[in-house]
Structure 1
Amino acid sequence: MKRFRPLLPALLLAMVPLAQAEKADAFQPTEISCRACEADGVTGIMTVKGGVVITRGTLRIEADSGRVERSPDGYQRAWLAAGAGGKVRFRQKADGPGERWIEGEADRVEYDERAATVKLFSGATIRRTANDRLPEEARGEYIAYDSRKEFYVMRNTPSGEDRPGAGRNTIILPPSRIAPPAGALAGKAAQ
């Protein structure tokens, strides 16, 4: 099994064009909608719960509860959790031509604006869609995505550790070529 390990980095590099987050989102206001909130204006920390929806430009995060923190220099961090049987979900438009989106879900999500990272814990999935093509998808117990470097890391435990026997990660790459119409294949077979 060890001889196949060099293939994993190659497969991950094939997924690297997961697209940078929409750069304009950083300069948009953040809106937090929830059932209940406790906000400390001195520390910049908010505790939110009940149908939490955070939007900022094209970024949208949905969770059951969480904590949002704003640093003195204006950067935001969020720690969000799903309720029983649910998932924290996020979606954001990616920079570049066409309709490109990155979306994901997990039991718990950490978002760090300064580092431009999203970390997904337990039952994590990230998908990249582009112009209605089949999505690229990654599934595992821990996924950390850096939108500036267009790079992500997967591990087989929710703690972010890689442990033999703990689980498997899955990467689904759509075909890069589009199949010809069914009639075109039948015509070639008849020749």
Structure 2
Amino acid sequence: MRRIRILCLALLTSVATPLAAQSDDASQPIRIQANAATLDDNKNLAVYTGNVIITQGSMRLTGSRVTLTLDNNGEAQKLVSTGSPATFRQTPPDGKRVDARALTIEYHADTERVILIQDAFLEQAGNTFQGQRVNYDIQRQIVDAGRATSDDGDAAERIEIVIQPRKRTEPANNDDET
């Protein structure tokens, strides 16, 4: 029982820094809520099931099942959340919140990337990206969509992107004024 408590504490402290890209988020405590947890120290693996909610600062990851893989140093390497759908939310310092959902969400802590797989949808500042696969680079705030291909090499499905017009900060030129 003591070993399980130590492992839980180790998991929580090792996940604290890499889980969130924002410095404020990284300094916040991690909270994991689930109906059940299975921790395997030998495989550096933790599986949380049943309405899983993981929060740290502005970051929130949900799913019906979340698998956390640690590297050999005990650092969080990858989180895989599955659900109907699984969700990801984070507010970067610029305040343009990112909301995402997919049947599977992979969070790669070492590269700070989120990969949305199957029925993927990502929204930031009113701009939306949807398709079967959407990749999001958290640090650079770059979205890459539409990389899924079929067996013959053609795009498996088209993507849909909606980009909001930029707000103009200067008044429009009026040619009538002289």
Smaller-chain TM-score bracket: 0.7 to 0.9
Residue identity opposite 2:138 in structure 1: S
Between Structure 1 and Structure 2, how many residues are aligned?
Answer: 148
Gaps of 5+ in 2: 1-19, 169-178
1:182 maps to which residue? none
Q: What is the alpha-carbon root mean square deviation over aligned residues?
A: 2.5
Unaligned runs of 5+ in 1: 1-19, 130-134, 179-191
Q: Please report how far the alpha carbon of residue 117 of structure 1 lies from its aligned counterpart in structure 2 after TM superposition.
A: 0.4
Distance 1:122 1:163, change over 3 A: farther
Contact 2:104 2:117 in 1 (8 A): yes
Provide the rounded CA distance (Å) in 1 between the counterparts of 2:105 and 2:77.
14
Letter in 2 for 1:95: P
Which residue of 128, 134, 155 corresponds with 2:146?
A: 155
Deviation at 1:125, TM superposition (A): 0.6
Cα gap change, 1:162 to 1:76, in 2 (>3 Å)? farther
Aligned to 1:92: 90
Q: CA deviation at 1:176?
A: 1.8
2:98 maps to: 102
1:80 paired to 2:81: yes
Distance 2:152 2:143 in 1: 15
- State, as a whole percentage, how many aligned pairs show the same letter: 22
Distance (whole Å) between structure 1 residues aligned to residue 24 and residue 105 of structure 2: 22
Matched residue type, 1:91: R
Q: How far, CA to CA, are the matches of 1:109 and 1:169 in structure 2?
A: 18
TM-score of the superposed pair, with normalisation by structure 1: 0.69
**1:32 & 1:161 partners in 2: Cα distance?**
39
Pick aligned residue for 1:123 from 116, 119, 122: 119
Q: Indicate conservation of the 8 Å contact 1:62/1:90, yes or no.
A: yes
- Give the aligned residue type for 1:174: Q
Q: Secondary structure at the match of 2:26?
A: helix
Instruction: Identify the match of residue 174 of structure 1 among 164, 170, 174.
Output: 164
